[in-house]
Amino acid sequence: MLFFTQCFGAVLDLIHLRFQHYKAKRVFSAAGQLVCVVNPTHSLKYAPARCAAAQTSVEQGILPPCHHHEAVHDPQLIPCTCPLFSCPWEGHLEVVVSHLRQTHRINILQGAEIVFLATDMHLPAPTDWIIMHSCLGHQFLLVLRKQEKHEGHPQFFATMMLIGTPTQADNFTYRLELNRNQRRLKWEATPRSVLECVDSVISDGDCLVLNTSLAQLFADNGSLAIGIAITTSKVHNAEAEI
């Protein structure tokens, strides 16, 4: 009976996931956009001290030092950039993507325009929805977080982070778009580098911010679809032409 109950639950979860994906494809297939159904995960870490240290290092133009008990520290090592977990991993920026995929099982989509479909928006804060987006020869980390900045008033924060340096991030522009029931909402900005810490970006409010009422206007049966597009910045294009 226990085996049957567990299998039956797994089948129901699979059916629910397939149904959500079918609905998303039905809505966005006409636009030729790839759809990624993203399930929520309760954040298991809140480490402002670590983020503050990383932010200070970025502002000073250096990367955070390694914290392992070794005789020689490698100044090029950076901490894990996944905002979900208090992960002790450290490594070079070039291997961050493989770490996120292999260790934290974060999905990655490729394409100029994709749709990020976050399910189960009703879950209590703090909750995160995360995917990676491969575009224009770089990888980006999209984070949607439900968090209470004031007790009893949860908000949704969505931002795009480049898995690269702040200088590289300045070469791109990302757009997040919500479109439902004859309503459209867009956020366009330069992505921030993962070296700057997702928590800091959300605290600063330099991202798409939705209160619960506004999010519900664009939600469909507890799911929120966010269209994502990434382009090279105009300044970068002009420099290339010169």
Q: Judge whether residue 4 has pLDDT over 70.
A: no
Rounded to an integer, what distance in angstroms lies between the CA atom of residue 52 and that of residue 196? 9
pLDDT for the residue numbered 118: 95
- Nearest Cα neighbor of 226 from 136, 159, 126, 148 is 159
Residues written for the chain = 242
Q: Judge whether residue 229 has pLDDT over 90.
A: yes
Q: What is the pLDDT of residues 72-97, one digit of tens each?
A: 445 678 888 888 778 889 999 999 99
pLDDT for the residue numbered 36: 84
Between 29 and 163, residue with greater pLDDT? 163
DSSP 3-state of 192: strand
Name the most confidently modeled range: 19-28, 33-42, 215-224.
215-224
Average of per-residue pLDDT across 203-212: 93
Least confident of 50-54, 123-127, 215-219, 234-238: 50-54
Name the band, by pLDDT with cuts 50, 70 and 90, for residue 220: very high
Rounded to an integer, what distance in angstroms lies between the CA atom of residue 124 and that of residue 86? 20
Residue with tokens 């867009």: 186
Name the band, by pLDDT with cuts 50, 70 and 90, for residue 233: confident
Contact 84, 104 (CB under 8 A): yes
Between 74 and 143, residue with greater pLDDT? 143
What ranges in the chain are assigned the alpha helix state H? 2-28, 48-59, 96-103, 166-169, 198-204, 212-218, 234-241
Average of per-residue pLDDT across 143-157: 91
Least confident of 14-18, 69-73, 115-119, 218-222: 69-73
Domains and CATH numbers, the chain: 33-42+75-232 (2.60.210.10)
pLDDT for the residue numbered 22: 52
Least confident of 3-12, 67-76, 129-138, 181-190: 67-76
Q: At 103, list the tokens.
A: 């260790």
Q: Judge whether residue 211 has pLDDT over 90.
A: yes
CA 190 to chain centre: 14
The answer to whether the predicted template modeling score (pTM) of the entire model surpasses 0.75 is no
